[in-house]
Amino acid sequence: MALLPILRFPDARLKKVAVPIASIDGSIRKLAADMAETMYEAPGIGLAATQVDVHKQLVVIDISEEKNDLLVLINPRIAASDGGQTGEEGCLSVPGIYEKVERAEHVTVDYLDLDGKKCSLKADGLLAVCIQHELDHLNGKVFVDHLSQLKQTRIKGKLAKQARVTA
Ligand code: K1U
Ligand code: ZN
């Protein structure tokens, strides 16, 4: 397995739209394993392939405390959503920034697992938020795109300052 470099906002590659995966082969299984390792090491509770500069519809998520409940979603689609919730989100591509974002409260996501089996999962709470956040990445959207222009400008300034300090 390998740790993968994570793109940082406002890298233009985070805006690319991911394409569906036509066949689940060894390279996809290795990508999923490398993404899981990268997410656990970060640490984070989710990671989309877009964030590691692979523009394919693949997401890994694990919201468990014990880090033993890995979900791999291939070609995920939100089939249904309802309600609303507002909570603080972070992003491994936007380090150190946490902001409130409004999301659906309940979602049903259809996807393929690593064996190519069609699955459907009903989620709420943090899992529903994480699914929506990761599917946004596959569509070229970062959580800061949900914020006002003023907040986005401030965040870009903070990240530029962080980059100067750590350079
Ligand atoms: O997509 C990502 O960048 C991962 C992101 C997922 C996410 C977090 C919060 C709300 C919605 C989506 C993260 O994992 S940021 C780090 C984080 O939240 C976390 C880190 C360690 C322990 C628990 C949470
Ligand atoms: Zn993110």
Q: For residue 163, what pLDDT is reported?
A: 86
Looking at the structure of the chain, the number of domains it has is 1
Q: Which ligand is nearest to the CA of 44?
A: 1
Residue 162's pLDDT band, with cuts at 50, 70 and 90, is confident
**Domain span holding position 54:** 12-166
pTM beyond 0.95:
yes
CATH number at residue 131: 3.90.45.10
Catalytic residue selected from 37, 41, 105, 134: 134
Average pLDDT of 87-97? Answer: 97
The pLDDT-based confidence of 80 (bands split at 50, 70, 90) is very high
Residue 66 annotated in active site? no
- Domain contains 157: yes
Average pLDDT over residues 37-50: 98
Helix/strand/coil (H, E, C) string of the chain?
CCCCCCCCCCCHHHHCCCECCCCCCHHHHHHHHHHHHHHHHCCCCEEEHHHHCCCECEEEECCCCCCCCCEEEEEEEEEEEECCEEEEECCCCCCCCCEEEEECCEEEEEEECCCCCEEEEEEEHHHHHHHHHHHHHHCCCCHHHHCCHHHHHHHHHHHHHHHHHHC
**Domain-located, residue 4:** no
Ligand 1 atom with least separation from CA of 45: 14
Asked if the structure places residue 3 within a domain, the reply is: no
